[in-house]
Amino acid sequence: MIDFETGRFVLREGVELYPGMTREDFFQSPLYATELYHETNKEKPKKRSYFLKPQNIDGFVMSITIYLSSHDYIDEVKITKPEFYDWPNWPEDVSEEEYAYAIKRYNDQFLASQIQGSLREGKELWFDYMWGSITSSISLRHTPSVKITIRYDEIPFLEAKGMKFDDIDILDLY
């Protein structure tokens, strides 16, 4: 369940992601301990992203990729129906567009269950919060992309560590 007040994304009891979660916090989590799709990623502690085994979240099986910023905070969580990753070997009895939209509907049903409400259909749904944002999107340009993205704002945590953003060169952020 996603807590829209705090940004906490509880996958199941004792397993969660949240704004301000550091790389070290992630390394101490059950997700890192037992749910990495590729165990060899544990040999690469500075990776930008970690792909997890499919997770059953509130009755929806979802694939999750966790992205870390250059400042070692989780800044994005990408979620989609696992069958998305079967591309380009999607079923041949329906068009690629139809199949992609079926995945988008599944993703949107998952998101609706998280917000405990209904959503309108569309190519992109966007929700802004004090802690970040959630989008559900589809793009069929070149390689299909169908995903929900949770973005966490790391700036409050960097400011708490003393980083100033009032007179900074954008290149200093990378």
For residue range 48-99, list pLDDT tens digits in order: 999 999 999 999 999 999 999 999 999 999 999 999 998 988 999 999 999 9
**63 within a domain of the structure (yes/no):** yes
| CA atoms of 136 and 112, how far apart (whole Å) | 11
Domain of 126? 9-173
| CA atoms of 114 and 137, how far apart (whole Å) | 16
**109 within a domain of the structure (yes/no):** yes
**3 within a domain of the structure (yes/no):** no
**4 within a domain of the structure (yes/no):** no
> Could you report the per-residue pLDDT of 106-118, keeping only the tens digit for each?
999 999 888 765 5
- The count of domains in the chain is 1
**1 within a domain of the structure (yes/no):** no
pTM of the predicted protein model: 0.88
CA separation, residue 5 to residues 1, 73, 119 (Å): 12, 19, 19
> Could you report the per-residue pLDDT of 1-46, keeping only the tens digit for each?
888 899 999 999 999 999 999 999 999 999 999 999 999 999 988 9
Bridge pairing between strands 49-51 and 55-57: unpaired
